[in-house]
Structure 1
Amino acid sequence: MTQPLLPHQPLDPALEDTLQAVETRLAALGEALRARDTAAIDSHATELHRALARAVDHFTHAARKGDVPQPLRRRLARASGQVAAQRESLARATAALDRAIEVLMPRETPGLYSSGGASERGTLRGGSIQA
């Protein structure tokens, strides 16, 4: 939903297109995350990364000229919030996966026998055993 522009704030078509690309990629990544489609997540995340890099370049250049209309600033801030939310969602999913892997495949405990049957402990050398 775009807010009406004030007469003195014309939209730069390059900024509009760049921001629209970011918003489109964010939406696609969000759908892939909801569908848990790993191939699509990877693809959309890569495309989002590229779109964000282009947006940073375009918006940085425009900001140096003082040329970023307020509605585009608000949309860019909203997109930034969505990126942060998706990043947090991925971090939670990664932590849950790490916990599940730890339960399914715990690390070997030092001092116990390894899968080869030998003890993980170091052996004593050069001493004698006295009873």
Structure 2
Amino acid sequence: MSLTPSSSTAPAAADPLTPLLTELESALGSVQAALSQRDALALERHAASVQRLMTDALREGRERGRGGDLTPALRQRLAAAGAQVAAQRAALGRATAALDRAIDVLMPPEPLGLYGQSGRTLRQRSSGDVASA
């Protein structure tokens, strides 16, 4: 009888998805903090970590799901992490659009007589890149 409880707790202890999800959730929290603080360097660093962890978690979840070993709790955590990534992606898209609008206000289109059509094309390709100006 003592073998049954230990054998049922051993797979949970050796479960690679649980610590992976915990690390992913922590990285998502770091991305959210970087977005809130508008820290581009931290955002880039944490986003790369989230991308790697999400790929690993999805691969592990897919393998576990095929075998029928994915518990509802782990499935819910994986789905919540995916939803959080989607929400953060949408927030970043809105922030990028706001930045583009601000740049358009600060740098209105030039009159056609000043640079002509080729100058306008050059400005659109640079997309506000200060180094290329």
Do they fold alike, i.e. is TM over 0.5? yes
The structure 1 segments of at least 4 consecutive aligned residues displaced by more than 4 Å after TM superposition are none
Structure 1 position 85, deviation (Å): 1.1
Structure 1 position 113, deviation (Å): 2.2
Could you tell me which residue of structure 1 aligns to residue 91 of structure 2?
89
Could you tell me which residue of structure 2 aligns to residue 113 of structure 1?
114
Preserved CA contact (<8 Å) 1:18 1:58: no
User: Quick check: which has more Rg, 1 or 2?
Assistant: 1
Could you tell me which residue of structure 2 aligns to residue 3 of structure 1?
none
Residue 13, structure 1, aligned to residue 5, structure 2: no
Distance 1:38 1:22 in 2: 19
Identity %: 42
Gaps of 5+ in 2: 1-7, 118-133
Q: Greater helix share, 1 or 2?
A: 2
Distance 2:111 2:38 in 1: 34
Query: TM-score when scaled to structure 2?
Result: 0.74
Aligned counterparts, 1:12-51, within 5 A: 13-51=15-53
Could you tell me which residue of structure 1 aligns to residue 67 of structure 2?
65
Distance 2:40 2:99 in 1: 14
Structure 1 position 33, deviation (Å): 0.9
Could you tell me which residue of structure 2 aligns to residue 75 of structure 1?
77
Distance 1:27 1:60 in 2: 24
Query: TM-score when scaled to structure 1?
Result: 0.75
Preserved CA contact (<8 Å) 1:59 1:68: yes
The total of aligned residue pairs comes to 108
